[in-house]
Amino acid sequence: MSDQAKFLAAMQAGYQFKGDHVKIGSGMLDGEVIGDASIFLPLKTMNRHGLIAGATGTGKTKSLQMISEQLSDNSVPVLLMDIKGDLSGIAAPGILNDKIGERCKKLNVAYKPTAFPTELMTLNEGKGVRLRATVSEFGPVLLSKILGLNDIQGGVVAMIFKYCDDNKMPLLDLKDFIKVLQWVGNEGKAELEKDYGKISTTSTGTVLRKVVELQQQGADVFFGEKSFEVADLMRISDDGRGMVNILRVTDMQDRPKLFSTFMLQLLAELYASSPEEGDLDKPKLVLFIDEAHLIFQEASDALLEQLETIIKLIRSKGIGIFFCTQNPQDIPASILSQLGMKVQHALRAFTAADRKTIKQAAENFPETEFYKTDELLTQLGIGEAFVTLLNEKGIPTPLVHTMLCTPSSRMDILNDTEIDTLVSKSKLVPKYKEPIDQESAYEILTAKLEEAAEKQEEVKANKTAAKEESFFDNPIVKTVGRTAAVMLTRSLLGALGLGGRSKRY
């Protein structure tokens, strides 16, 4: 049997699936596309998470876009974290050109320009559905991990949450939490210590500084109401396709802590609010996180541990997570080991460190008799990648050099007019547009302090008025009284023979 026949037999055996599946490309051998070696992706294992990696300009984002389209066509909602701002084109049909036509011919697929149902979202004042969450929804454990607090400081945060719950003081935004911290460190310290135990002023000061640090990264825009309902990420469009939700976070590259804060809260909320699903025929939601290294940049060990735990458990809820980054080494090993599907685009070797990284990346793939993986990793063309994934039994498929299908939507961004039109048609934008500033911890404590100050002023005024009205407070009366007392004392002493005597000579 020739190498090509052996290769074709291996690919057909490894990438044929009984359940719902989609074609993502065709296998290549010796630089040539083998037309009958179609590479399919089983929807059943899309909740096993995945990795899309490769150097800049190798086609990672277009692979992400193409897989998202396939999911949407199969009624699977998608959430895209758009860090670079280049994914909005999925809402518009693509344009056929010579390169796309040539690729489709090699892959034996028809090109159909298609726009996909899209919802634009934002964490700030940008155009789209406004995403917010309350401090209470984070809870003391998650908030402590995000702030990087030790056990003692985390205990203080837990005590504050308990105090606010017991006294019906909602913690909605950061100004609420900061106000409570200031209250605990000053006027309210005695009240809390009476019911909850000793509180270190040093600890409250440290927590306050950590919160201010998060605030300086722009977290104020994220905390508040109306809180976003994660169920709105799992909508199906009127034509039966899954909604493609694009969260535009182009300003997060220089604020990694805020980005990781949002991601961890979102994953925690998805996990907490989604029921156990077991093995589904296809996932309920798939998240694609572009420039995923931002999540792990500056992340504490506690934060990484929390992320690892959620990623391990959330797949049982029917939710898949795909990380998109330049280098597989950007993903911590404990999380990388949880990613069942890998789409590895070309890596560049400019230095000895680069060559070492490529060798490590090659060792993470299944062994293959058809390729020298470490050498071919540097020679993959644009839109080509090494692919391996989990089949329906959870077994890794053979590693295959794949020419990937092109997206059917626009491989460019929407212009401002198109964005405005898309946002104006949104059903969710009006729902989350206006912030709600209801009475919360800040207002309650401010009123409490003002009331205490008014009472103090009232007591002070009463004391002053009482002094002015007293007869014996008059200075003249006091002087007369003192003189009378002295004379009386002297008279008594004289009568007892104890008075002073004049000296005789």
Mean pLDDT of the chain: 84
Please give the pLDDT value at position 504: 42
Highest-pLDDT range among 43-52, 225-234, 295-304: 43-52
Overall pTM surpassing 0.85 (yes/no): no
Handedness of CA 255, 308, 397, 280 (dihedral sign): negative
* Cβ neighbours of 232 (radius 10 Å): 18
Give percent of the chain with pLDDT exceeding 90.
42
Which carries the bigger pLDDT value, residue 303 or residue 133? 133
Residues 137-157 have a mean pLDDT of 86
174 and 214 Cβ atoms separated by less than 8 Å: yes
pLDDT digits (tens, 9 = 90+) for 470-495: 545 555 545 555 555 545 545 544 55
Please give the pLDDT value at position 89: 94
pLDDT digits (tens, 9 = 90+) for 221-261: 788 888 888 999 999 999 999 999 999 887 766 676 777 77
Handedness of CA 43, 46, 50, 54 (dihedral sign): positive
461 pLDDT higher than 70 = no
Strand ranges across the sheet with 21-29: 32-42, 21-29, 400-404, 384-388, 341-344, 50-53, 319-325, 285-289, 78-82, 244-248, 118-122, 129-130
Least confident of 62-76, 203-217, 406-420: 203-217
Residues 122-143 have a mean pLDDT of 86
Give the three-class secondary structure for 306.
helix
Amino acid present at 61: T
